[in-house]
Structures are given as structure tokens and as C-alpha cells.
Amino acid sequence: MIDSHDVAASLKATVFPVLREAGFVRFKARAAWRFREHVIEVVDFRSLGSYLGGAVGASSHSFGGHVGLYYKALHTAPWATEPLPELPDEASCHARRTLRKSLFQLWCRRRDVWYVNRKGTNLEAVASDVRRAVEQQALPWLNEHEDLELALRAFESRDDSEMKRGIMLEHFGGARDSFARAAATSALALACGQPQRAREAWQRMLANPYYQNLSDLRKEAERRLAVI
């Protein structure tokens, strides 16, 4: 029988060297961070644990892979009050992506879960597939979305997407024209030197019928719009 420590050791031996070569310099448990001029990037492999593993029919040490970009621009916007976190976790990132396995696994067909059997006899194959996902999915996606102008276009125009119903693929902080999406979009626009696009992000949010009766959020959006 193996446990989560064996899985972590396999990932560190097989996957972390790829991340180091790509410029990731901070590692903690199953997470890694890379620091760029405008973003902090995170790659994280979270164990399912016994509860979630049981719910999806997988072992407790099966896991998923997630990547995220935390944009520094949100801490330089005129309304920002919180300091930039040193090591943001993937769940707090503004743009997020779930990795997909390419292995066919009879005992767990969810594409967002790498199933590791209790004896670990498939661990080598799993780690190799994770490495492939990092090389072919994670790094290209991170490299693309660290560009602020491209990220701004994505936050303005792209909907969150699902890999399969209920399983996230790409996430940009919330639905288009939501408060969270407007906050990210406007901050990115200001960082790109385009205040008009920042104003338009808040105007779209204020025109969203969902917020017509949410006075606190409307007042905050109007306050931010006024200072741009």
C-alpha cells in the first residue's frame, strides 16, 4: 500500500524538474510558484482525500492538477488596500485552469482526476502523464495569459468554461459583467494604460440586471468608476 507521501515524492521526481526548468523557484508540498513582471503563477496538485475520493470513486491519494495566474495589477488599482500576497494559493488566483489527463483509467473516467491505485502500481504511468499535461497544457496556458493585453481581452470577452458539466476548465473570476470580473478587467486595463476600457468594465457591471437591487455592490462599483 502507498500513501500521499509516495505520490508527492513521485511528482517531485518526475514533474518538478520540468517546472524548475521553466522558471518556477518556490516549491511547497505539491505546489510551485513562478514570479513574472506582472503575475505570480501557481501549479498545484491537490490530493482528493478520503471524502472526495470516495465521492468520485477514487483512492484518497488520487489527485487533480490546477494552474493559476495572480495578477499584480489588482494591487496597484486606485481602490486596492490589501498587500500583494507572497505565495498566493491557486484557488485565489484571478485566472485558473484545470489540467486534463490523457490516460484512460477504467476505475476513474473523470478527466480532471489522476487515479492512483492503492498499491501504486500505476504511479509511474500517472506521473508521466502529469508531466505531459504540464508541458502541453499548463506551461503554454500560463505563458499565454501572463501577457496583460491578452489577459485583458480574455477577461472582457470570454466566458468561464467547463470540461464537462460541473467540472471547471477555465475560470476568469466569475461570470462576465460580474463585480469580480469587472474588478479584474478594470485593474488590467489600467495596468495597460487604457482607462476607458477600465471604465467600460464597471459600466457593463452596473448595467447587469443582477446588480440592480444590490445597493452595496453598486455603490462600490460607482465609487471605483469615479476614481478612474
List pLDDT tens digits, range 114-151. 999 988 899 999 999 999 999 999 999 999 999 999 99
Q: φ, ψ for residue 191 (rounded to 5)? A: -65, -25
Cell numbers at 113, concatenated: 482526476
Mean pLDDT of the region 203-226: 94
List pLDDT tens digits, range 158-193. 999 988 887 889 999 889 999 999 999 999 999 999
Extract the runs of DSSP E, i.e. beta strands, from the chain. Answer: 26-28, 31-35, 39-47, 63-71, 95-98, 161-164, 167-171
- What DSSP string describes 180-215? HHHHHHHHHHHHTT-HHHHHHHHHHHHH-GGGTT-H
The number of residues making up the chain comes to 228
Mean pLDDT of the region 70-86: 96
pLDDT computed for residue 58 by the predictor? 74
57-60-61-64 Cα dihedral, nearest 10 degrees? 60
Cβ neighbors of 37 (< 8 A, separation 6 or more) are none
What is the distance between the alpha carbons of residues 185 and 156, in angstroms, rounded to a whole number?
A: 6
pTM, rounded to two decimals: 0.94
User: Regarding beta strands 39-47 and 63-71, do their DSSP bridges make them parallel or antiparallel, or are they unpaired?
Assistant: antiparallel
